[in-house]
Amino acid sequence: MFRAVAVPVIGAAVLTLPTLPTPAQAADTQSLVDALRAAAGKPPGVRATFAKGQCVRGTYTPSADAGQVTRSLSFTRPWPLVGRFSVGGGNPSAPDTTKTVLRGFSIKILSEGGDTHLLFENAPVHFARTLDQMLGFLQVRAPGPDGKANPEAIAAFAKANPETTRQSAFVAGKPLPGSYAGIVYWGVHTFTGTNLAGQTVPFKFKVVPGAGEIGLSDEEAKGKSAQFLVAELTERIARAPVTFDVVALLAEPGDDLTGDITQRWKNEDERRALKLGTIAVDALEPNETCDEGIFDPGRLADGLGAPDDEIFAARRTAYGISFGQRAK
């Protein structure tokens, strides 16, 4: 499915983790978390988004080509991992049969001397270009006095901000996911690897299911319960580990590396890809294992540079704020 290629030298500098947010950015991030919770009706004790999910455990095994992209111990050696499959939004009881809601997959590669945490979702783009746009998107979806959002306000915002419709259009164009194990997940942001030769390699993560994409027709979906995904995953893992290829989509000249994450790179599905390794999920894990902390998007082992866009910079703060609220 993927072919190994020579990785171009993009530059000699190594990206570093983003600096701590300024007070103004932290205030914006608090507003985002509040808006996420408001859009979901403020259920207590749950994540601000991707509130519904199942913790799992497994392993990561590197491919022979991983060192062409990154020297990171997390990706060039085998390790155990903890993961969490999830359904988007802040409703912990969201029906699995809702087609337009995002599905997520978060992992912690438990590499000695420096773990790596990564967040993936079943769309290759984010739903907002800037923090202000993200806040506006969420605020128009807050329930009114009748407990419902105003569809006219949502439509007006979408018309004024067309880039906020790209993610939902992508998800709506796919069949309802029939299994957590049959979803293609993306990292959305541009990371920068420092490879074994000391070269910097910008790329995006793509996580491809070994079982292929598993989708349900509208008729098949009618026969599914609102909570079928975990039951299906349980039965599947009992037969064999669930596997995914972790793939690096390599940047090309002219790609936007730091700006609009509501847009894909040109010909992204057809471009050069390099397999970093394989994830094998072999057991369900008690949800308490995942709930006792966070999947911290800023936690990256040496050899993997953080994305340089404002949405990613806000995410680390947002996850910490959300954890503090649900832990009360």
Distance CA 192, CA 250 (A): 10
> Which amino acid is present at 294?
I
d(C-alpha 287, C-alpha 206), whole Å: 25
Alpha-carbon span 38 to 204, nearest angstrom = 31
Give the other-Cβ count within 10 Å of 286's Cβ.
11
In three-state secondary structure terms, 273 is strand
Q: What is the largest CA-CA distance in the chain?
A: 60
319 carries a ligand binding annotation? yes
Place of tokens 């910079």: 313
Tokens matching residue 268: 């992204």
Chain centre to alpha carbon of residue 243: 17
Identity (one letter) of the amino acid at 54? Q
Degrees (nearest 5) of the Cα angle 140, 294, 323?
55
Measured between its terminal Cα atoms, the distance across the chain in Å is 47
CA neighbours closer than 13 Å in the CB half-sphere of residue 280: 12
Q: What residues form the annotated binding site for heme?
A: 319
Q: Which residue ranges make up the annotated binding site?
A: 319
